[in-house]
Structure 1
């Protein structure tokens, strides 16, 4: 007699305490960061990102076009046993000319270890910590950051959460064509982004296209190079990486995504390489949410969802993170608009602190798939404890203090039996032209 597998997918123990007198915060003014005069070869806007197995990409900018693209690094302060040389780029935008943008890959690095490094042979010493090679691993998740007072609060709270990797589903600087705002954003996030890898994807505020003059994403692609080449992608707008026991796919909401597109073809190839024994957790991140009960940006993700959701469902994606809507929302496991024990949990986290303020209006009644929603600034934390269980929590900015307002234990789809059940479905989806 063949036993029928009944997926036991979620261990939901959600604690959602909201004070009756809580007043959602208003937008705060854009920060004005003073310009500190430094030598032209001085490294600025330093940030790091994962760059393949046991490697890290260090990015920084210098005003000096002849400054070397070298990174010295080692495991002891002031003692650099290794040196790596990288590549450079720059760009112009109307009347703006960027500094020299350096991208240097260092490694191999030991997991869960602290390294000290210096960029360009001078300037301050930075300290980074590599992610662990196995569980547990912790992620900070925040979207739509911008450069306001609330952004500063969010960054302060993220700094307290002892994360290993920061995941950002788009809308970083809110430069919006004003190129020096990319520079102020780089200086604002440097204290955090230079110490832990920040893995980003693009949002609508990265689209700085000027017809006949400038292609979109020139600023984003020049400044925030991600491991697209390492993951077999031809575009910096979509890529994947693996860390500890998680395979993480970053998709582009603003690049072609129909079934004939390069992005869709790459996604199928990438999913075919996922080994759920090695990486039992499968996460996907993009900017425009597919499941959104807020009136803001309603339905904007519909076309991408229609194209890609069946493929992600067949692959048994555990969690999907998106931004764009300036509020927080967490779904139950859902697929094709209906509750499904083998569907993904969708989380909208576009509440990092942007200048446009919060999206207050929600559709009433609340859809069955929507579990928790609130229009407040904040950030999320995901701790994957082992191959079967992860703990998610959302922390709102309440009077500049992080207040945990939503949390949940999530069981992986590998543990539920969904992956085994949909094996044939996935194979068929990947083989379909």
Structure 2
């Protein structure tokens, strides 16, 4: 699942402006593994990241090698941190790996569109973040297991993840999924705790949240999704709670795409089975955008439902091209389906700017030779603003 004022995932369609430029991608580079800083000791905070909790709180998470207090000092001044909150410390074991001490602290209430500064101990490094706005416009950024690599990834993303909320959901590579231990997503659930309780979910693998007029639903492709399952019942309940007068935009995130013209990952139960179970719910709720990953390439579909173009269906976008160990999925079926508006096998990321209650802009940016190049864009009118589609049914 990047940003300017905020970070997350979304997409949409209406008027389409597409730019296609041929590009020959260079060969992959060596894997990047980051170790702790040279001056770090066993109590130095590392892998700092933040995530939204409810309407006006922020969860701050970090790891130390040894046990330290889970206390955050914060305020609106970089020099004075007049508030402090203490949270929890945990760790986990997986086979012969033992994690560091995982700290989770939720701070707030916080004011919207405000810069806050925080630190973990007197004299320690001061971090900062800006809370999302209460109203439009708002921007989201979108992008798509050996246990020590979780630590390396945490260090790699800290400069961004400590300043912008990262709202995530699980993918297949996040599962330990070995016969010796049937419990999966051990590291994911311990390290990336999302605000699932706030939306009435009983699992960190699926939840929802609202920000500045956008209701975002994060579904779990790798937990039970059939009718009657806990996730299915939760989704039905969550959709009923959506008030399109308060949150006119409705966006859903999954990992395994339901629509895909790439040869990679065709026919998987997490795609086909979940689509059979849940697509009707999203269509009746007039979901605007469904964002997926999994396939290591980019593809944007026109509004679609039940495999046919439908002006009241969601826009489906696969943006599984954020980077991976396996390279790009560069083989697409031919001819290109008429419901597929744009597709390209290049690494990149997406930006979703919700301008107002009716209008948004989506753009995909190819990461070309370390430069971000916009290669696809589309303007979107949401379905709640469409008289032909705004009779909501759930």
Q: How does 1:124-139 map to 2 (within 5 A)?
A: 124-139=125-140
Note the alpha carbon deviations across 1:86-106, whole angstroms, 9 max, x for none: 112210111111111011000
- CA displacement at 1:309 relative to structure 2: 0.2
Query: Which residue number in structure 2 is paired with residue 240 of structure 1?
Result: 208
Counterpart for residue 181 of structure 1 = 149
Q: 2:176 aligns with which of 203, 208, 217?
A: 208
Task: Supply the distance in 2 between the matched residues of 1:296 and 1:350 (Cα, whole angstroms).
Answer: 11
Which residue of 2 is the match for residue 315 of structure 1? 285
Aligned match of 1:109: 110
1:262-296 residue CA offsets vs partner (Å, 9 max, x unmatched): 00000011111000000000000010000000000
Task: Please show how residues 29-428 of structure 1 align to structure 2 within 5 Å.
Answer: 29-37=30-38, 38-65=40-67, 67-121=68-122, 123-143=124-144, 176=145, 178-213=146-181, 215-300=183-268, 301-421=271-391, 423=392, 425-426=393-394
SS in 1 for 2:199: coil
Structure 2 counterpart SS, 1:329: strand
Distance 1:10 1:96 in 2: 45
Cα deviations by residue, 1:70-113 (Å, 9 ceiling, x for unpaired): 10001111210111111122101111111110110001111111
Q: CA deviation at 1:122?
A: 5.4
> What is the Cα deviation at residue 10 of structure 1?
4.8
CA distance in structure 1 between the aligned counterparts of 2:27 and 2:216, rounded to whole angstroms: 33
Equivalents in 2 of 1:78, 1:238: separation in Å?
A: 38
Whether contact under 8 Å (1:203, 1:287) holds in the other structure is yes
CA–CA separation in structure 1 for the residues paired with 2:92 and 2:112: 34
SS of residue in 1 equivalent to 2:200: coil
In structure 2, how many angstroms separate the alpha carbons of the residues matched to 1:93 and 1:307? 33
Task: Return closer, same or farther for 1:224/1:418 CA change in 2, 3 Å cut-off.
Answer: farther
The alignment yields a C-alpha RMSD, in angstroms, of: 1.3
Pair 1:16-2:19 in alignment: yes
CA contact (8 A) 1:313 1:342 kept: yes
Conserved? CA contact 1:317–1:344, under 8 Å: yes
Deviation of the 1:119 alpha carbon: 2.1
CA distance in 2, matches of 1:35, 1:237: 29
SS at match of 2:140: strand
For these two proteins, the number of residue pairs brought into alignment is: 380
Deviation at 1:368, TM superposition (A): 1.3
1:398: how far off? Answer: 1.1
| Structure 1 residue 380: Cα displacement | 0.3
Matches of 1:211 and 1:68 in 2, distance apart?
36
Q: Distance in 1 between matches of 2:123 and 2:320?
A: 37
Please report how far the alpha carbon of residue 11 of structure 1 lies from its aligned counterpart in structure 2 after TM superposition: 3.3
Q: Distance in 1 between matches of 2:69 and 2:182?
A: 28
CA contact (8 A) 2:33 2:149 kept: no
CA offset at residue 212 of structure 1? 4.2
Runs of at least 5 residues in structure 1 that lack an aligned partner in the other structure:
1-8, 144-175, 427-433
Secondary structure of 1:185's partner? helix
Q: 1:10 to 1:68 in 2, by over 3 A?
A: closer
- The two structures have a TM-score, normalised by structure 1, of 0.86
Give the deviation of 1:183 after TM superposition.
Answer: 0.5
CA distance in 1, matches of 2:368, 2:332: 21
- For residues 348 and 11 of structure 1, the distance between their equivalents in structure 2, rounded to whole angstroms, comes to 17
8 A Cα contact 1:55 1:108, kept in partner:
yes
